[in-house]
Amino acid sequence: MPSKKHIISDLGEKKLIHRIIKKTHNLQQDYYSKHPLIKKSLGDDAALMDLSEIGPSKNFLVVSSDMLLAKTHFPSQMSPRERGWKIVTVNVSDISAMGAIPQGLILSIGLPGDMEIRQFDELMDGVLEACNYYHIPLLGGDTNESSQMVLSGTIIGSVEKSKALMKSGARPGDIVAVSGDLGLAAAGFEILLSSTLDQDKIKSILPEKIIKKVIQKALKPQAKIKEGIIAAQSGNVTALTDITDGLASELEEILKASDLPLGIRIYEDKIPLPDEVKKIGEFFSKKPLDMALHYGEDFELLFCIKKDALASLKDKIKLMVVGEVTSTGNMEIVDKKGNINILPPGGYQHLEG
């Protein structure tokens, strides 16, 4: 009776991950009694390992893994070189969200047997271009045959134990800020995924420079590694994550990760939505705000910052304040008229995407 079957796409990615974490918590209890940190960081942007046992260290090892699949993650226009760049960037972004310094990348790949060697070389050129850009070595990996391209990266980094930044840690009164404009990558993907007819239309409406900018942002994003490291060193950031699934989804993650009954209030007119996002959103009749709240892919960072430290941190990195941490227990967005509305988490769900 197929209709009776419970399948994982009914759950979606977040519930599936929650299910894995719950099961892991149950089955690895014995381990956690000796290693509480492992339990604490499971489900964060990256895992934190205390290396003290294998040698004294003032640092945590920071490890994270991200997989990209052709059908789910790569628009057809994305070149092999851009795909190679992106698998490195998504992984680096995960540890930048811990304030960590990247130390190396492992890459396992599955490729169609009929992939041209020329394309394969371009893919690896993109991987190594990104590794060199982020100053990390490619440490190793595995190659396999796969009907569709699968790129699975694991990034290894380090962060001073006292400085590591997790999703948890925000406090009422903290300032909520992002590291840059939101929605640009979403705008780029809208164009890339649209019909050639629409593409011709929008090219006739908007200057080429703008089209190029948003498509570049979609095809070749850059992880905010410097900003993460500075945030961690400052000691004034209470929670940090990278915005891969949209601002709303990441704000929810911050609330969920906290032991306190936190709330967050953001302000529509403070969200950094560039004109090009508004124009492109309107062209495709998408609400520009949704492209910032529910799309992601910009790889900007989301900070919770001690109020009195905002100014000093602003001198060091680009920060755009979008709201504050509250104790209401709600996620709220204040619209341009000043009305307070509940902000639905939503966010991009890979298993549904």
Annotated binding site for substrate: 73, 297, 348
d(CA 4, CA 250): 33
Task: Give yes or no for residue 58 binding its own copies (CB under 8 A).
Answer: yes
Select the residue interacting with its own copies from 36, 77, 116, 226 (CB under 8 A).
116
Cβ nearer to its own copies, comparing 80 with 345? 80
Task: Give dist(CA 337, CA 227) in Å, integer.
Answer: 33
User: Could you say whether residue 79 binds its own copies (CB under 8 A)?
Assistant: no
Which residue stretch of 64-72, 200-208, 213-221, 321-329 sits at the interface with its own copies (rule: CB under 8 A)?
A: 64-72
Written as one letter, the residue type at 142 is: D
Find, among 58, 57, 32, 63, the residue nearest to 45 by Cα: 63
How many Cβ atoms are within 10 Å of 5's Cβ, its own excluded? 7
Enter the tokens of residue 313.
């941190």
| Closest CB to its own copies among residues 14, 265 | 14
Give backbone dihedrals phi and psi of 203, rounded to 5 degrees, phi first: -70, -25
Q: Does 3 bind its own copies (CB under 8 A)?
A: no
Contact between 71 and its own copies by CB under 8 A: the answer reads yes
**Single residue of 1, 33, 55, 196 touching its own copies by CB under 8 A:** 55
Tokens 């001073």 label which residue? 160
Nearest distance in Å: CB 40, its own copies: 12
How many residues line the site for its own copies (CB under 8 A)?
91
The helix/strand/coil state of 107 is strand
Partners of 340 in the beta sheet? 334
Rounded-to-integer distance, Cα 71 and Cα 133, Å = 27
Positive or negative, the CA dihedral 84, 87, 88, 89 is positive
Q: Is the separation of the CB atoms in 214 and 276 below 8 Å?
A: yes
Pairing of strands 263-267, 331-334: parallel
| CB of 235 vs its own copies, minimal distance in Å | 19
Q: Does 109 bind its own copies (CB under 8 A)?
A: yes
Q: Is 228 in the site for its own copies (CB under 8 A)?
A: no
If binding is defined by CB under 8 A, does position 165 make contact with its own copies? no
Per CB under 8 A, the list member of 36, 142, 287, 329 interacting with its own copies is 142
**326 binds its own copies, rule: CB under 8 A:** no
At CA 99, angle to CA 227 and CA 36, rounded to 5? 165
State yes or no: residue 93 binds its own copies (CB under 8 A). Answer: no
Q: Which of 7, 197, 311, 342: binder of its own copies (CB under 8 A)?
A: 7
Give yes or no for residue 108 binding its own copies (CB under 8 A): yes
Judged by CB under 8 A, the residue of 79, 125, 133, 283 near its own copies is 125
Among 75, 128, 230, 256, binds its own copies (CB under 8 A): 128
192 binds its own copies (CB under 8 A): no
For its own copies, give the closer residue by CB, 28 or 199. Answer: 28
Which residue from 196, 149, 164 is spatially nearest to 48, judged by alpha carbons? 164
> Which one among 66, 242, 245, 252 touches its own copies, defined by CB under 8 A?
66
Contact segment (CB under 8 A) with its own copies among 140-148, 169-177, 248-256, 269-277 equals: 140-148
Is 316 near its own copies (CB under 8 A)? no
Contact between 125 and 81 (Cβ < 8 Å)? yes
User: Residue 37 has which token pair?
Assistant: 């940190």
Q: Does 293 bind its own copies (CB under 8 A)?
A: no
- State the virtual CA torsion across 11, 187, 98, 272 in degrees, nearest 10: -120
Structure tokens at 222: 């850059």
Cβ proximity to its own copies: between 64 and 249 the closer is 64
Residue 63 makes contact with its own copies by CB under 8 A: yes
